[in-house]
Amino acid sequence: MRRVVNLLLAALVILPTTGHAHDPSAWGGVFRSRDSGQTWLPVDAGLFIGGAMAVAVHPTDPNHLLYATDTRLLRSRNGGRDWIHEAPDRFVGPTLAVAFDADGHGAVAASSAGVFRFRDDVASWSPVDAPENASPARLIVADSSRPGHFVLGAPGGLFTSVDGGRRWYAVGGAAPRSQPTALHVAGDSALAVIGGNVWIRDGDNPWHRVDQGLPLDRIETVTSDAAAGIHRWWAFGGNRLYRSDDRGTSWRTVGTALDTADTSVREIAPLDGGRVIVLTTHRGLWRSNDGGEHWNQVEGALPVHLEASPLLRDPHDAQTLYAGFALTPYPEIWRRAEQGNNLMSQIDPVSLAGAGAMFGLLLMAGVWTARRLARAAGASSPSSPSRQIPR
């Protein structure tokens, strides 16, 4: 046994190894662009995030960020240079959605454990009273014109809160009771994609479906053009981009189809009045600088081989964007959250057995080394007082 241990230790010492610097493209995470999506840099360098689920920017402080990941919720107050783990006793496992309140004095976040709200006056996260089918919520957006108002998208459909996220109610009208894939608030209107179709709520009117000019059951995401006002809305589906200039009453195609067919588009960010369009997809991030006539995949510092999903326009700067990427496909992360699983569910018995064997081997090597050192120390120490040799 000693010979086996000696051979293994010798192999670990003498075998050549190669050291690699960290490649940011080898991980997921959130990236920021300050030039309308042309160039990007990681915001969470050094954190080694597996999946960026959502990011929120404080309405009055552009350096104050909340960042939902596949393992925890993070907060930064200096633009991403430093991060702290928010409420580690509350947010364990995937945090799927997060949003600041319109007044900046609170926030709402959702994980597989439920929906939580934060208020500055108590400086802590607390669980809220939400219907059972409102969790785990995949989408949360704040109404920027009305503090305390939120809309939430969950397996049970759409839910609203008018008291800062304390209580939630299922929306009325004909909106389906199923998981929305996109959710957006534009002024006094809210837009959602449910079952591949666009649903809209104008003011206090009930939700209703709009589909004139859109492919039925194929729309993936929807948003508004902040620079053009709330009357210009955008949608993507069937590998094509659509635009409405009359509050969703009618839609028309814009530009050309993506070069790569069957691309699943998660979110849209129109910039510069629609001249620049940025998309997050399951094939990375794509951009057009001519209104959708030509599309190019953005590379550089981005992990082009990973899926991208969250895409946020900074409310303080029209040229600043945040985009998130994940090592694990987003549908798989969402599925695990709905099943109440965390990352430990990915470890299989074979991996556990291998890890246990390696740990046992290292333990045996350590014990053997300690015994040899103890014996060597004992042999070198005098066992009795030395005697002088007479001349």
Q: Which pTM was predicted?
A: 0.81
Type of residue at 165:
G
Q: How confident is the model at residue 27 (pLDDT cuts 50, 70, 90)?
A: confident
Do strands 240-244 and 233-237 pair parallel, antiparallel, or not at all (unpaired)?
Answer: antiparallel
Q: How confident is the model at residue 240 (pLDDT cuts 50, 70, 90)?
A: very high
CA–CA separation, 30 and 103 (whole Å): 25
* Residues 150/143, Cβ–Cβ less than 8 Å: yes
Q: Which of 118-132, 249-263, 304-318, 361-375 has the lowest average pLDDT? A: 361-375
* Residues 187/175, Cβ–Cβ less than 8 Å: no
Q: How confident is the model at residue 365 (pLDDT cuts 50, 70, 90)?
A: low
CA–CA separation, 350 and 199 (whole Å): 47
Q: Which of 49-58, 144-153, 217-226, 343-352 has the lowest average pLDDT? A: 343-352
pLDDT of residue 162: 94
Structural domains of the chain, ranges and CATH numbers in brackets? 28-339 (2.130.10.10)
pLDDT of residue 20: 37
53-87 pLDDT, tens per residue? 999 999 999 999 999 999 999 999 999 999 999 99
CA–CA separation, 112 and 136 (whole Å): 5
Q: Which of 125-139, 250-264, 359-373 has the lowest average pLDDT? A: 359-373
